[in-house]
Each structure stands twice: as C-alpha cells, then as structure tokens.
Structure 1
Amino acid sequence: MAIGVYKLSQKNRNTLASIIYFMCTLEMAIGMCMAGSSIYTMVAVSPIIHSEKSEVDFAFAITGIFGTHIIIQHIVGYKVCYKCVKQAHKKSTRNLLFLWSCIGANMTLNLIIICHYLRKLKNHIAKSIKQSFMLGMTHYLKDVTWKETIDRLQYDNECCGIFSFQDWEEKAWLTRYHVNVECDTIKEYRISEDILALPVIPWSCCKIDFPMQCLHDPLQQPQFAHIWVDEPSIVRNSINTTGCLDGLTTIIFIFINTYICMTALVFILQLFVFLMSRIMYTSARNAILLNNSECIAPGWIFGRGDCGYTGGQTLADIMGPLPPQTDDEMPKPTVKKSRFKCFRKKTKIADDVTATETTLENIESAPSQTIEAPDIQQSSQNIGDELKRLKQ
C-alpha cells in the first residue's frame, strides 16, 4: 500500500520544486549562522575562559563543522531537486536522491546528539568559569597573566568579582607580603580575623563614567578613608557592583540556546524537504510511466517500486485504465532506411513514367507507316493502360 499519495500536475511539481529551493536556501542561511557563531565564540569568548578554553574550542569547532556541512548539503540539494523534476527517468536520479536523503538524516541525527551534550556543557562552562575566576583572584598579585586577564575582563564587561564586588573583600587575595598585618590601619579595616579580608578591590572594578575619584582602596586613599565608614553608598556608586559570571556565561548560553533552536528548525525543514522531494520525484517518474511527462500523476512518500517493494496499488489502480494512444503518441518507425527506399522507389517510378512518355512521343513523331487500324488501336490502348498504372 502506498503511503502519502498525492496527485500532482506539472505546475504542482514545479511549485513544489520552488518550495524545496527556498527551504534549501533557508537551511544554508542557518548553517552560515551556526558556523559564524562558532567561529566568534572560539575567537572572542573562549579566550576569557582560562582553564576550559580547549574544551570550549573543541565543542564549538564541532558545531562549526556541522554548520559547514549543512551549507554543502543544501548546495547539492539544488542539483538533486533539478534532477528529480527534469530527469526522473534516470536511475542515477533515484540513487542520488536516496544518498542525499541518507546523508541529511545522518547530519540531523548528529546535530541532535550535539545539542544534547551542549545542554550539559552549559552547567559545566558556568562551573568552569567560576573556578577559573576564583583561581585568578587568588593569583591576582602573584601572576601577571592572571592580573592582565582579570583586569581586561572586568574593565571591558564593566563587572567586578564573580557574583559581586564583595567577592574581592571576602577573598584572601592580599597576603602578609602585600600589606603589613601589624599596622593599625590594617587592623582597623580588617573584616575577618581568620583570613586577611580587606575592603580593597582592583582598579578595573571602577566605573568609567563616575564623575569623582574612584573609591576602591582605602589603604591607598587615606584622605577619603572616612567615606568607607560614613558614606558607604558613595563607595558603591564609584565601582561596578555586578559580578562577571552572568556576563560571561550569558554570551555562551545565548549561542548554545540559539544553536539548539537552529537544530530544531533544521530537523523540521529537513523532514519537510525529504517528504516533498519524495512526492515530487515519484510524481515526475510516474508521469513518464504514463507516457506523458506533463500529465497529472500520483506521487508518494513510499509505494510500489521503492526499495524493491512490489506490493500496493499500481498506477492503473490509482489513475484508472490508461487512455488509448493517439496517432501522435504512436511509436514512429526508424526513417533512415525507409526514406532511402522510398526515395529509390519514387525515382524508379519517375524514370518509368519519363521513359513511357518518351516512347509515346517517339511513336507519335515517327513516319507514317501502313499499319492495320485494329493493331494501332490495340497498341495505343496497351500503352495508355501501362502509363496509368505507372502514374498510380
């Protein structure tokens, strides 16, 4: 039994081909977005993630490769669609459509698997960024690379700390090698007795547009030290209070969520393209089997003649008995030899007629002889009969 039978005219098949062309173009645009976002993430975002940069690069390199795969897949789809409409009678068209459909199904399945792991990668990336930032805060004054990375990150994203600026105040990033723990000022501003926690944050946490001096270090700004006690709101207004974790993960999460949505769209479009290409191809093929490539013919998703399947309805069952062939549709014999023979036959007849007419003229122009009347009449009648027979 045929599945998904639709009767299509030549105009319907051309319209279906136009829709398939449009869907292939749309999927190519999606593939370009996938490849472009993957490249941007590898170049601009992953360098910020110090410890997990290689893993993030690998994940988005895979997504970029599959985006390129989508582009190539649907460039070939233009050729497949053309052959399905114009060259449905060829065996190569059937094989090409089958191979193209299998590659598309494999590509879509791989995209779904990648999206499943990207969802897990989101939590892993958030945890990795948090651990990397905490490690960088600890080594902020010990490692020049970490200091430059965190300063650039906080300054460019206008953020401070992991969750807020208080992470710097609660973190023991200042040690006894950086400050004199026996100093009265240090004892005054020391927040905790267990760790060396002070209300000091890096300069990169300062707001760019703050009209006054940034109040980020009471140890180095003793003339404004009373503000930390009397007007703490002014201190907060001079620095960025939001953390950097949300800003960093938001960009990557947007790309991952967008990639998942694009994969779902690719899956839907690929399914529609497969179904429509099958119906269009089988309708064009069946139209040729009905002895008229422009007639209305049934197309189906799966039916008789597909993959060796011999059951189900035949074309006669679906369309009814075939109409009788007209004279124009009758097969024409080979004309090369027959034309040559016909030409020889006509030439021979013309020669015989010319010879007979010449004989008659000779007889009429010959000198008068004494011939019996019955013999002359009989000869003339025989010649006239022969002339009529040759002309016929």
Structure 2
Amino acid sequence: MAMMKVKFNMKKRVKLAQGLWLMNWFCVITGIILFSMGIFLKIELRKRSEVMDNEESHFVPNSLIFMGALACALNAFAGKICYDSLDPAKFAKWKPMLKPYLIICVFYNVFVFFIAVVCLVTRGSLESTLAHGLKNGMRYYKDTDTPGRCFMKKTIDLLQIEFKCCGNNGYRDWFEIQWVSNRYLDFSSKEVKDRIKSNVDGKYLIDGVPFSCCNPSSPRPCIQMQVTNNSAHYSYEHQTEELNLWNRGCKEALLHYYTNMMSSMGALVLLVWIFEISVMFGMRYLHTCLDSIANPEDPECVSEGWLLEKSLKETVKSFWDFLKSMGKLNQVENAAAEESPAVVTAS
C-alpha cells in the first residue's frame, strides 16, 4: 500500500511543477554558494598548510566543491524536467530517467547531511592537526637557510601578528625550542657556550620570543628577551605585564577561527540539505502523479501521487534484497573469472 497519498487535479499538478521549477533553480544558486564556500575554505587552509600536520583537513572543502558542482547539475536537470513535465510529448523522454535521478538524490542527500555533521563536529581532528603542525613549524622557525623550510619564519611571524597570538599554547613554548639560527650565534662567547652545555640536547635555549609576539598595545617598548628576568629590566614584573606579549596561543586562535567558520558552513549546508530533501519529495510526487494518470489524453483528470509505493518496512526489505542480489551477482562474476584461467590451462 502506497504511503502518504495525495490527489492532484490539473491545477495542482501545474502549481507543483512550477513550484519545483523555482525551488530547483534556487538550489542551483545554493549549489554555487556551496562550491564557492569550498573554494574559500580550501584557500584558507592552503594559506596555513605549513602549520597543519596533514592533508585530512581538506576533506571538507573538497566535499563542498563536489557537492556544489553536483547540486548545480542535479537541480538544473530537475528544473528542465519540471519545465517539460506538463507537456506529455516532452515528458515522455524524461520519464525513464526520473527513478534513477531520485535514487541519486537519496545518496546525494545522505552525503550532504554527513558533511553538515562533519562541519559541526570537526573541532577534535582540527585541534590535533593544528597542535602538531604548529609544533613542527616552530621547530623549523630557525631554518631560514634550509630548502623547503626557508619561509617558515615568515609564515609563523605573519600568523602571530595576524591572529594576535604567540607560540602553540602560549609564549612559554618558545622557551623550550631553539628558534635562533646557529649562523647568528657567536660560539666563542662564554654565554652561548654555557647555554648550549646546560641543555641535554645541546640547543641554545633562551627565555625570549620572536618580535611577532609583541603586543603593540603595550605602553612600554616590547620586552622579548629575558622575559622572565625581572632584574634585567627597569620597573618590570613579567607575571603582571599582560600587555607586553600576546598571552593567547596560536592553536587556540586558529582553532577558534576555523571552528567558527566550519560551524557557519555546517549550518548553511544543513539548510541546503532541508531544501534538497523538499525538492526530492516534490519530484517524487510529480513523478508518481504524472505516472498514475489513467487517461493521458484527458489533462483535467485526477491522479494520485505518493512518496513510497509500499510501506516503509517493505521498501527497506526490497532495497536490502536488491543489495544482496547485487552482491551475489558480483560473487558469481568473480567465480567465473577465477574458473576461466583454469579452463584455459587444462585445455
């Protein structure tokens, strides 16, 4: 028994077709927006790829680009079907394509919903990616003469200036790594030798930070060297000088920036999903109400439209049986392919 039956006369069919035509072209516009969002997010991630640990973060922008392009194609195609649907001669050529189109729409909407959820819950993986990427980036800060790493200093400095942050979790992260290149160290100096010898790894560690950590709102000239040594500076207490350096770590700053961006995109993708679901249901009603017209020569006749031809339980069972039959067919083909070489060898 068909589920959610609705009766349609000629006037209702025309209104349904016209409404779906408008909705499909609106969804084409949303598809362009999704595509543009994917491009924008990909550019934003590429700009800071040096401080990101892996390429997994590009799954979302690549998916948005794919979904946007597919939405434009699917909805433009559906818009053309809606436009021709009330002309029996024109609709006849589209009729065989409607069922495959609706199946594609089901999978497409599942994927759209999945991407919306990924956008909304991506904070955990993004935090790990940024933590490892920033840690490696800071370690390579001094390697301005090393090919492939020579731009890392500029990247980190611009990042800290733009996002008003310092280090990975805070400015003290710079105390734990050597960020001054050996070419700028005087190894004949006793101070340099003592600092290197006092460290197990033989690194030149100082309680200083790069200039890009300085807060321009500070009323005094920035203190970036001997940050924790109060006696080295006049009228200075490093624990109370909050305006001297940026206190926020760059991981937190970038995470906040990208999380807000992804959450906004996730909400927009969820809105697009609702529109696409509505269009899919509408196309199903248009398909069934036109398909069930008893007398095609009488355009004024009443027809019935529905969402599911059978009950939900029967529909799920039929779909599951279809998937199992496809699996068995694949097994038979593989078995036949394995037997073929054996037959050739025996002959």
Pairwise same-fold verdict (TM > 0.5): yes
TM-score by length of 2: 0.70
Q: Pick the structure with greater CA Rg.
A: 1
Corresponding residue for residue 44 of structure 2 = 44
Correspondence for 1:95: 96
Distance 1:116 1:88, change over 3 A: farther
1:64 is aligned to 2:65: yes
2:171 pairs with one of 165, 178, 198? 165
The answer to whether the 8 Å contact 1:8/1:298 transfers is yes
* Correspondence for 1:208: 216
CA pair 287-203 structure 1, distance change in 2 beyond 3 A: same
2:17: which partner in 1?
17
Give the match's secondary structure for 1:270: helix
**SS of 2:234 mapped into structure 1:** helix
CA distance 1:88–1:223, shift in 2 (3 Å): farther
Report what 1:238 is aligned to.
244
Q: CA deviation at 1:223?
A: 11
Which residue is equivalent to 1:325?
none
Match of 2:345 in 1: none
How far apart are 1:39 and its partner, in Å?
Answer: 1.0
Distance apart, 1:64 and its partner CA:
0.9
Q: Is 1:250 aligned with 2:256?
A: yes
1:80 aligns with 2:59: no
Structure 1 residues 111, 298: closer, same or farther in 2, change over 3 A? Answer: closer
What is the identity, as a one-letter code, of the residue corresponding to 1:297? S
Counterpart of 2:35?
35
TM-score, reference length from structure 1: 0.63
* Structure 1 residue 248: Cα displacement: 1.6
Q: Secondary structure at the match of 2:16?
A: helix
Q: 1:78: Cα distance to partner?
A: 0.7
Structure 2 CA distance for aligned equivalents of residues 59 and 126 of structure 1: 15
The 5 A counterparts of 1:326-345 are none
* Cα offset, 1:273, TM superposition: 1.9
> Unpaired runs of 5+ in structure 1?
305-392
Cα shift at 1:121? 5.7
SS at match of 2:28: helix
Seen in structure 2, the aligned counterparts of structure 1 residues 44 and 279 have a Cα distance that, compared at 3 Å, is closer
- Map Cα deviations across residues 320-353 of structure 1 (whole Å, 9 max, x no partner): xxxxxxxxxxxxxxxxxxxxxxxxxxxxxxxxxx
Whether the 8 Å CA contact 2:122–2:259 is kept in 1: the answer is: no
Cα deviation for residue 232 of structure 1 reads 4.6
Identity of aligned residues (%): 19
| Alignment CA distance shift 1:47-1:66 (3 Å) | same
Count of matched residue positions in the alignment of Structure 1 and Structure 2: 297
Following the alignment from structure 2 to structure 1, what is the Cα–Cα distance between the partners of residues 209 and 170?
11
Answer yes or no: is 1:226 the counterpart of 2:227. no
> Which one has more relative contact order, counting CA pairs under 8 Å at least 6 apart?
2
- Contact kept, 8 Å, 1:201 with 1:216, in 2: the verdict is yes
TM-fit CA distance, 1:215: 2.0
Say whether the 8 Å CA contact 1:87–1:93 is kept in structure 2: no
**Alignment RMSD:** 3.7
2:277 to 264, 271, 281: 271
Q: CA deviation at 1:84?
A: 2.6
Question: Over residues 182-217 of structure 1, what are the superposed CA-to-partner deviations in whole Å (9 max), with x where a residue is unaligned?
Answer: 439x98xxxx98786533111111223445422222
Pairing 1:282–2:288 present: yes
Output the amino acid matched with 2:103: C
Identify the residue that residue 105 of structure 2 maps to in structure 1: 104
The amino acid of 2:87's aligned partner reads K
